[in-house]
Amino acid sequence: MFNFGIKKQSEKSRARTGILETKRGNIQTPIFMPVGTLATVKSVSPEELKEAGAQIILGNTYHLYLRPGCEVIEKFAGVHGFMNWDRPILTDSGGFQVFSLAKLSKLSEEGYAFQSHIDGSRHLLTPEKSIEIQRCLNSDIIMCLDQCLHYPAERSEAESALELTTRWAKRCRDARAENNIGGALFGIVQGGMFNDLRQRSLESIVEIGFNGYAVGGLSVGEPKDIMLDVADFTIPKLPEHAPRYVMGVGTPEDLVALAGMGADMFDCVMPTRNARNGQLFTPHGAINICNARFKYDMEPVDAHCTCYTCRHYSRAYLRHLYMARELLAYRLNTLHNLHYYLNLMQQMREAIDQDSFDVFKKDFYAQRIK
Amino acid sequence: MFNFGIKKQSEKSRARTGILETKRGNIQTPIFMPVGTLATVKSVSPEELKEAGAQIILGNTYHLYLRPGCEVIEKFAGVHGFMNWDRPILTDSGGFQVFSLAKLSKLSEEGYAFQSHIDGSRHLLTPEKSIEIQRCLNSDIIMCLDQCLHYPAERSEAESALELTTRWAKRCRDARAENNIGGALFGIVQGGMFNDLRQRSLESIVEIGFNGYAVGGLSVGEPKDIMLDVADFTIPKLPEHAPRYVMGVGTPEDLVALAGMGADMFDCVMPTRNARNGQLFTPHGAINICNARFKYDMEPVDAHCTCYTCRHYSRAYLRHLYMARELLAYRLNTLHNLHYYLNLMQQMREAIDQDSFDVFKKDFYAQRIK
């Protein structure tokens, strides 16, 4: 069971709200998916994720395949039972982590041959293998294996990567069909920063046919205006009645800009990773909690925030915990940042539903301290 | 406001239950106090502490004095407001940490001159200063500054340490009276592993007069039978109608033995520190969660345990988190161990109230795998 329906199409922009129906519940879009790399969103419990407003989380196929491995997770019938999370999970294909983390990865038509970054063990990640792993993870939304690119990449590299990505996408579609896998399958548009290649990629991927479509290969080091240009070119050309997912993005500003272009789904380590580095998001921009000016500050991070952290703790206490590298620091910071991101998405959804997204955007930027 | 009443004196042993009344609520004894060194019990929230059954926690004067410092905590009117904990807090005197952690500490009649283990800054911890810091922490139970000893110590060292501890105890009593400090004040019995010196120390300390009495200088490396012998000699000689606190102890076996001797209060880093090292307590003894035999183990740590961790997570998941050094591992392990310790105390209280502590002890030992 997987369905996507548009709830409200803004009349003044391409922004839209929708409902993704999955067997583990409905997801209101546009949505941000917290990253739960190793069957845990770092430092927080499933109950806390729900309290922060998480409707769906992302799991990393590469990491889960290496640790604890499919044979463990299969005993629990998937990641959900293993980690005590009963809402939907989207899993990536593993390709990006092989590309960015694994040792000595070697690309061929067959797939990625690589060595584990943990113990150097050798593995081969093919499109069929990626689908098989995601099946055993019992993922609700499965991503096709794609070829990732560094930035900047030559046109010829981008062209060859998109062609391989298309051939792999077909293999992923076939592997899912042959194995009668229930999770939805999303195709990924590549093409580097070249609009004509993006066009070619999306046409091929859409022709194969998927439950949803992702824009991959963004936020890989390119300047922000290029990222937004490519997204702005690509997103509106994706099928209107399927969910559109911009992978690995981004800052609060990025989310507002991309939702305005009609994107429905996002994921990024930013709220969680930055929390662990002491950076906390507020409507006025981010603050660094280790700053000495917070030493005696009895105010919460954001006086208007309703997260657990802001309801109970001062900046002085958070600074103290962070300076002492106390474990509770990472959790309290993460809870705040996740709440900020998820609440931002909810505000966007409300604004789009009321067709006041333009007003929301204006307010959003007006609040930010340059 | 501070009062202690004996609720039930066992007729078959020296074990007893009691109620410690403080202005922040009543404490049922015998009680275990989780250690919250830096205004946080490592990895867990105040709500989780309460769910685990914590009635009172311990804060470390040395650590809090250095970080974040009294001038910060005073803005919050004490540790309670700073850390969002509204139940009682007992603070130690700082002496043990100066003795074990600080650099170049130098003892004199005046107090301990020492350098911070964090930045090398110079400080002087006198009895008056210790009381003053504990006042600013707004401690509900304040401990006298005492002189700590390594094990083994010469008789002459132990004698001189107990005499200094007595002189400091008087200064602590006076400092508290002069500054009209509300928290209860506990005296500490020293005397090393020499029973006649313990006798001399306790007579002097009791003569000065305190709200409660602690046995210090145990669990400093001495063999277990010596620790228990000294405790067994000392505890029954302490005033019957005052709370008796055995500091820095111990294993579950120690707690059962010492409660049987009539001790009312305990603290130890064991449940929290061992949790962070992957050691989990069960009625059958401790297990190490990183053991390979737990890789596929779908059972909780203890099938009869009602803690959050055991209600929701398998050993396989806890092992996975721990092997991956995931932040959630420390919390889930800590919650289980604290629940184990606090539940053990509750079982003891119930057994004593029903005058079946002997049966409880027999069962407790019968369950443990040798």
Provide DSSP, A77-94: TSHHHHHT--S-EEE--S
Task: Report pLDDT for B369.
Answer: 78
CA distance A217 to chain B (A): 28
**Residue of B74, B298, B320, B322 for testing the chain A interface, max A β-carbons within 10 Å:** B320
The span from the CA of B120 to the CA of B101, in Å, is 12
Q: Is residue A370 very low, low, confident or very high in pLDDT (cuts 50, 70, 90)?
A: low
How far, in whole angstroms, is CA A228 from its chain's centroid?
17
Name every chain B residue with its beta carbon within 8 A of the beta carbon of A319. Answer: 68
Instruction: Tell me whether residues A328 and B67 touch, CB distance under 8 A.
Output: no
Name every chain A residue with its beta carbon within 8 A of the beta carbon of B76. Answer: 298, 314, 316-317
Q: Is the ipTM of this complex over 0.90?
A: yes
Q: Are A215 and A261 in contact (CB under 8 A)?
A: no
The letter for the amino acid at A147 is Q
A297 classed as catalytic: no
Considering CB atoms only, which of B72, B82, B312 is closest to A295?
A: B72
Give CA torsion, residues B221, B222, B224, B225, to 10 deg: 180
The SS3 call for residue A65 is: helix
Q: Is residue A369 very low, low, confident or very high in pLDDT (cuts 50, 70, 90)?
A: confident
Residue B141 φ then ψ, to 5°: -130, 115
Provide DSSP, B307-364: SHHHHH--HHHHHHHHHTT-HHHHHHHHHHHHHHHHHHHHHHHHHHHTT-HHHHHHHH
A interface with B, Cβ–Cβ < 8 A, is 38-40, 42-46, 67-68, 71-72, 75-76, 82-84, 295-296, 298, 312-314, 316-317, 319-321, 323-324, 326-328, 330-331
> b or e along A275-309 (b: 16 or more beta carbons within 10 Å of the residue's beta carbon)?
bbebbbbbbeebbebeeeebbbbeebbbeebebbb
Tokens describing residue B181: 């400090």
Site of tokens 């208007």:
A304
Name every chain B residue with its beta carbon within 8 A of the beta carbon of A101. Answer: none
pLDDT tens, residue order, chain B (370 aa) = 899 999 999 999 999 999 999 999 999 999 999 999 999 999 999 999 999 999 999 999 999 999 999 999 999 999 999 999 999 999 999 999 999 988 778 999 999 999 999 999 999 999 999 999 999 999 999 999 999 999 999 999 999 999 999 999 999 999 999 999 999 999 999 999 999 999 999 999 999 999 999 999 999 999 999 999 999 999 999 999 999 999 999 999 999 999 999 999 999 999 999 999 999 999 999 999 999 999 999 999 999 999 999 999 999 999 999 999 999 999 999 999 999 999 999 999 999 999 999 999 999 999 997 6
Site of tokens 């961790």:
B309
The span from the CA of A292 to the CA of A298, in Å, is 13
pLDDT over 90 (residue A104): no
Catalytic residue among A92, A140, A146, A264: A92
Task: Report pLDDT for A367.
Answer: 96
The residues near B305 (Cβ < 8 Å, ≥ 6 apart) are B282, B336, B339, B340, B343
Instruction: Tell me whether residues A327 and B323 touch, CB distance under 8 A.
Output: no
The span from the CA of A144 to the CA of A233, in Å, is 22
Q: Is residue A80 very low, low, confident or very high in pLDDT (cuts 50, 70, 90)?
A: very high
Closest residue in chain B to residue A312, using alpha carbons only: B84
Q: Is residue A303 very low, low, confident or very high in pLDDT (cuts 50, 70, 90)?
A: very high
Using a pLDDT cut of 70, give the percent of chain A over it. Answer: 100
Closest residue by Cα to residue B175 from B216, B214, B147, B142? B142
Task: Report pLDDT for B103.
Answer: 77
Could you read off the pLDDT of A121-138 as tens digits, one per residue? 999 999 999 999 999 999
Name every chain A residue with its beta carbon within 8 A of the beta carbon of B72. Answer: 295-296, 316, 320
